[in-house]
């Protein structure tokens, strides 16, 4: 017998002729995530992926990391044994030793239809063996211990505990996006939501130092570090934005300032996206959450976009976003105090439903192209390790 993790996927199984592509990307991501944990091999078997372990493998580290691999529906620590009933019964009894229970059930999934016994026959024979040797009672509806047997290809796998995976699609199968990361609660969650749909995220952050402190820069680095455990990429582009804001403050009407900030950010982000071959921008906007996120204002900002702007949180309320931030590990970092660049020179009465025509007219006083080029000259690229 040997110990393995048996990994199950969900949505990938519906991909038809493209399924192999998704499986290979998932295996590649698992290999990257499980470095230095003591596994010996990761390979695809029928409808599953198998992680074989050395005796000295760090099982808890592997369990934790598999839980952060997008595309995994659930996974189990199991023992692998020969495909004969004597071996299966012996392995099942050995596997449940030390566990506390008074009722049990055996559930078999027989992917290898050449195995001579049916699933109900395996359940009955193994169940009788376990009941005889443990003194437990059978309970088909609400057992304290569920012993699962999977008959796959040339082996049998036995386990009793299921670990929930992240679900979704493997990172890397859906292209690349540039996430506009603010340092607040919302944008890291938006990034995570997009990763779950299989995209690789790269980040851009706009800062207003020296008119604000450097806390937002440090927060963004820490957020990228956390997100990189899901994303396998920690590239972030840091854009100096204070000079653009000063121009907007001195040359445009106060109610439109935040909208003009964001229009400039979109223009600059698009240029960076082109250099990294990202196919869309991602923001943490949620409809109606703040003045700049009304439908009218979102439309006014998107007026300058030449590529898609994805808003995965657009229909979520703040409580939902905060709950997700806590679950993925970004909430505590995001709630540390910092000075966001969009909070600099904010008017007392910002426009809440600006027309595109009014915003364009306000922007006419700016040398837009020159400001964009100047900002791009000051961009710094950093790579943050997970």
The tens digit of pLDDT for each residue in 169-196 reads: 999 999 999 999 998 999 999 999 999 9
Work out the percent of the chain whose per-residue pLDDT is above 70: 97
Q: CA 195 to CA 104: how far, in whole Å?
A: 38
Taking alpha carbons only, the member of 166, 164, 169 closest to residue 21 is 169
Return the pLDDT at 364. 95
Is the pLDDT score of 341 beyond 60? no
pLDDT digits 0-9 by tens, 250-283: 999 999 999 999 999 999 999 999 999 999 999 9
Q: Residue 332 — very low, low, confident or very high, per pLDDT cuts 50/70/90? A: very high
Q: Residue 292 — very low, low, confident or very high, per pLDDT cuts 50/70/90? A: confident
The arithmetic mean of pLDDT across residues 140-152, rounded, is: 97
Structure letter (DSSP) for residue 169: B
Is the pLDDT score of 294 beyond 90? yes
Q: CA 278 to CA 306: how far, in whole Å?
A: 13
The arithmetic mean of pLDDT across residues 225-238, rounded, is: 94
Return the pLDDT at 14. 82
Return the pLDDT at 17. 86
Return the pLDDT at 291. 82
- Which of these ranges, 46-50, 267-271, 287-291, 381-385, has the smallest mean pLDDT? 287-291
Is the pLDDT score of 117 beyond 60? yes
The arithmetic mean of pLDDT across residues 9-14, rounded, is: 88
Return the pLDDT at 348. 72
Q: CA 188 to CA 345: how far, in whole Å?
A: 24
Is the pLDDT score of 120 beyond 70? yes
Q: CA 208 to CA 256: how far, in whole Å?
A: 18
| Averaged pLDDT of the chain | 94
Instruction: Supply the pTM of this predicted model.
Output: 0.91
Is the pLDDT score of 197 beyond 60? yes
Is the pLDDT score of 82 beyond 90? yes
Return the pLDDT at 215. 78
Q: CA 250 to CA 2: how far, in whole Å?
A: 70
Q: CA 25 to CA 268: how far, in whole Å?
A: 31
Q: Residue 345 — very low, low, confident or very high, per pLDDT cuts 50/70/90? A: low
Is the pLDDT score of 370 beyond 60? yes
Return the pLDDT at 342. 57
Is the pLDDT score of 318 beyond 70? yes
The arithmetic mean of pLDDT across residues 21-37, rounded, is: 96
Return the pLDDT at 79. 97
The arithmetic mean of pLDDT across residues 39-58, rounded, is: 96
Is the pLDDT score of 340 beyond 80? no
Cβ within 8 Å of residue 126, ≥6 positions away: 85, 88, 89, 92, 106, 108, 147, 149
Work out the percent of the chain whose per-residue pLDDT is above 90: 88
Residue ranges of E strands in the chain: 2-9, 39-45, 48-53, 72-81, 103-110, 137-138, 145-152, 155-159, 163-164, 176-180, 200-207, 235-240, 281-282, 309-310, 380-383
Is the pLDDT score of 137 beyond 60? yes
Is the pLDDT score of 344 beyond 90? no
> In a 10 Å sphere around its CB, with 0-12 CB exposed, 13-18 middle and 19+ buried, how is residue 305 labelled?
middle
Q: CA 356 to CA 302: how far, in whole Å?
A: 10
């Amino acid at each position: 017998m040997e110990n393995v993790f048996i990994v199950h996927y969900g949505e990938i199984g519906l991909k038809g002729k493209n399924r192999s592509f998704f499986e290979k990307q998932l295996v590649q991501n698992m290999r990257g995530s499980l470095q230095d944990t003591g596994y010996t091999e990761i390979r695809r078997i029928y409808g599953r992926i198998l992680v074989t372990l050395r005796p000295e493998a760090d099982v808890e580290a592997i369990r934790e990391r598999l839980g952060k691999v997008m595309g995994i529906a659930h996974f189990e620590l199991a023992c692998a044994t020969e495909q004969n009933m004597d071996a299966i019964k012996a392995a099942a009894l050995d596997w449940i030793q030390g566990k506390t229970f008074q009722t049990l059930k055996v559930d078999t999934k027989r992917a290898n239809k050449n195995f001579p016994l049916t699933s109900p026959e395996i359940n009955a024979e193994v169940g009788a063996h376990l009941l005889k040797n443990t003194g437990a009672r059978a309970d088909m509806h609400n057992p304290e211990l569920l012993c699962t047997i999977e008959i796959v290809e040339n082996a049998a796998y036995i386990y009793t505990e299921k670990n929930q995976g992240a679900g979704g699609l493997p990172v890397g199968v859906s292209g690349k996006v540039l996430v506009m990361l603010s340092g607040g609660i919302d944008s890291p969650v938006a990034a995570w939501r997009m990763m779950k749909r299989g995209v690789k995220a790269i980040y851009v952050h706009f800062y207003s130092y020296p008119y604000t402190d450097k806390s937002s820069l440090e927060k963004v680095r820490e957020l990228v570090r956390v997100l990189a455990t899901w994303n396998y990429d920690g590239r972030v582009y840091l854009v100096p934005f204070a000079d653009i804001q000063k121009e907007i403050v001195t040359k445009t009407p106060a109610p439109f300032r935040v909208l003009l900030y964001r229009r400039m950010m979109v223009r600059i982000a698009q240029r960076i996206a082109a250099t990294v071959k990202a196919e869309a921008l991602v923001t943490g906007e949620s409809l109606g959450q703040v003045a700049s996120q009304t439908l009218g204002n979102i439309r006014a900002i998107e007026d300058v976009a030449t590529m898609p702007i994805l808003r995965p949180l657009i229909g979520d309320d703040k409580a939902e976003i905060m709950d997700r931030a806590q679950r993925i590990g970004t909430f505590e970092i995001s709630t540390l105090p910092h000075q966001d660049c969009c909070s600099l020179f904010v008017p007392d009465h910002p426009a809440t439903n600006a027309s595109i025509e009014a915003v364009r007219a306000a922007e006419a006083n700016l040398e837009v192209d020159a400001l964009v080029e100047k900002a791009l000259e000051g961009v710094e690229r950093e790579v943050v390790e997970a």
